[in-house]
Amino acid sequence: MRAIRSGEADVVVAGGMERMTNMGTAGATKGLAGAADDL
């Protein structure tokens, strides 16, 4: 994010993964809702 804002980079690639199999429905919903609203 800093590289793009500063003009150092125009395009970046970001990757990640989630493992939510042990969280249950309520925990997974809370986690995804929070992540969707966070920078």
7-32 pLDDT, tens digit per residue, is 999 888 988 887 888 888 998 888 88
**11-34 burial by CB neighbour count: b if 16+ within 10 A, else e?**
eeeeeeeeeeeeeeeeeeeeeeee
pLDDT of residue 18: 76
Which pLDDT value is given to residue 39? 62
Q: Which residue is associated with the tokens 């929070």?
A: 34
Higher pLDDT, 39 or 3: 3
- 39 token code pair: 């920078």
With 0-12 CB in 10 A as exposed, 13-18 as middle and 19+ as buried, what is 6?
exposed
pLDDT confidence band for 38 (50 / 70 / 90): low
